[in-house]
Amino acid sequence: MPRQDPGRPWARPLFFNTPSQRVALARQQLFEEGQRPSGLVPEGVLQSWLRCLRQEPRTSRTLSFDPVTPSRLHSALSRNRPLLSASGEELQALEHALSGTDCRVILTDSEGVIVHVTHHPLADQPLLGVAARLGVNLSESAVGTTAPGLVAHTGQACSVMGAEHYYDCLQNFHCAAAPIRDIHGQLAGVLDLSIETRPFGFDAASLVGAYATAIENRLLKTQAREQLVLQFQAHPDLLDSVQQGLAGIDDRGRLAWVNPAGRRLLGLAQHPPHEDIGTSLGLDLADLLALSHHAQPQARRLDNGLTVWLRVRLQAPDGLPRLQAIGGPARPSAPATAVPSRPPEPSSAPTTEDASQVAETRHPLHEHSRQHIEAALAQAGGNITRAARALGVSRGLLYRRLKSRIPPTGPD
């Protein structure tokens, strides 16, 4: 702490040069003097302190870090199988990147229970070795202010360094965490980096944020069943990166979900409405269906005027990357360098032909499925085998589509 004037022991120094000095003063003001510290610690940390203070005023409490019951752990692991599956490759890559450090990679569920953790047998981390175990509850109510607990409570990325932790026994900890959200926008899990006895030697917040985004993108694409998944960015090299925009189009041709990068590119609110894509994005459903047959990204202009490179994939429940039986018939699209303008607005008195064309572009995906299957059957002379071969699907799948999606043509 900065030295005080010996002649004025009551006077506090005006400036604090280091973060540790500011945190020490904040703890003194709140925990010893009962005053709310202002501007000394991040607001999220301060709010967490206040919540913890109401629950347990003794910051000297010793934490046991006992795992949850076996039944609760089993339930958490079963419930979070999609999250664990989506995070597998990214966790392995992150652990490899951190193999030369003493950092622990921790993945918790939405309630703060650890469902994956890096094992560091040689690291000199007496307390972290106990805390970072499968099934330990790192929620704020269990262990006070920590980065994973704070993210689980607020849903916002944060870092908690040293004495910013609520309990005294955790003041040698440094942790940075970021949220992972599902297709419904709900918190699915928290990715955390933690280290004991010394600060991070790199920007842990940026690193954990990037890997959390990569896991989230994998989870979103996995959960987007029977949806058109759009990958888009202003530069094609950014597709498949953590900076890519992702969006899902449901079987009614509506915008079902958008990831944060996609919302920024589209200029959408936090939770986009389920609007027709022509209204929300200025894109044409028939064009998107045609793009699902292209491996290379294509340039398209959005309703906000921004030109993006777009790749479209149809997520089929049986794992087929391109299920033509649901998509409309492929038609030639514009060259990758060409940016087609938006289709003209219909006049106030459209002709019958114009109206039918407009209606055709707004048909849901299952309507395109019916039309495409009927067209393939007609071209094959009613031969199921040839029609299935032309569509690139199995006969069994085509039979199921015919049974479940095509209404009977006979009399009622």
Q: Is 268 helix (H, G, I), strand (E, B) or coil?
A: coil
Neighbours of 397 (CB within 10 A): 16
Write the CA distances from 145 to 136, 139, 173, integer angstroms: 15, 8, 11
pTM exceeds 0.85, yes or no: no
> Which position has the higher pLDDT, 393 or 57?
57
pLDDT number for residue 27: 97
Q: Is 293 helix (H, G, I), strand (E, B) or coil?
A: coil
> Which position has the higher pLDDT, 156 or 319?
156
pLDDT number for residue 268: 85
pLDDT band for position 306 (cuts 50, 70, 90):
very high
pLDDT number for residue 252: 83
- Structure tokens, 40: 């000394």
Nearest to 251 by CA among 232, 273, 225, 271: 225
Out of 82-86, 306-310, 365-369, 391-395, least confident range: 365-369
User: Mean pLDDT across the stretch 127-151?
Assistant: 96
> Which position has the higher pLDDT, 324 or 237?
237
Percentage of the chain beyond pLDDT 70 is: 74
Out of 88-97, 183-192, 252-261, least confident range: 252-261
How many angstroms separate the most distant Cα atoms in the chain?
Answer: 103
Q: Does domain 70-220 have CATH number 3.30.450.40?
A: yes
Q: What b/e sequence results for 283-318 when a residue is b if at least 16 CB atoms lie within 10 Å of its CB, and e otherwise?
A: bbbbbbbbbbbeeebbbbebeeeeebbbbbbbbbee
pLDDT band for position 359 (cuts 50, 70, 90):
very low
Neighbours of 320 (CB within 10 A): 16
d(C-alpha 146, C-alpha 48), whole Å: 9
User: Mean pLDDT across the stretch 28-46?
Assistant: 95
Show me where the domains of the chain are located: 19-55, 70-220, 224-335+361-405
Average per-residue pLDDT in the chain?
A: 82
Q: Please check the confidence at residue 409 and state whether its pLDDT lies above 60.
A: no
* pLDDT tens figures, 95-134: 999 999 999 999 999 999 999 999 876 667 889 999 999 9
Between the two ends of the chain, the Cα-to-Cα distance in Å is 87
pLDDT number for residue 351: 44
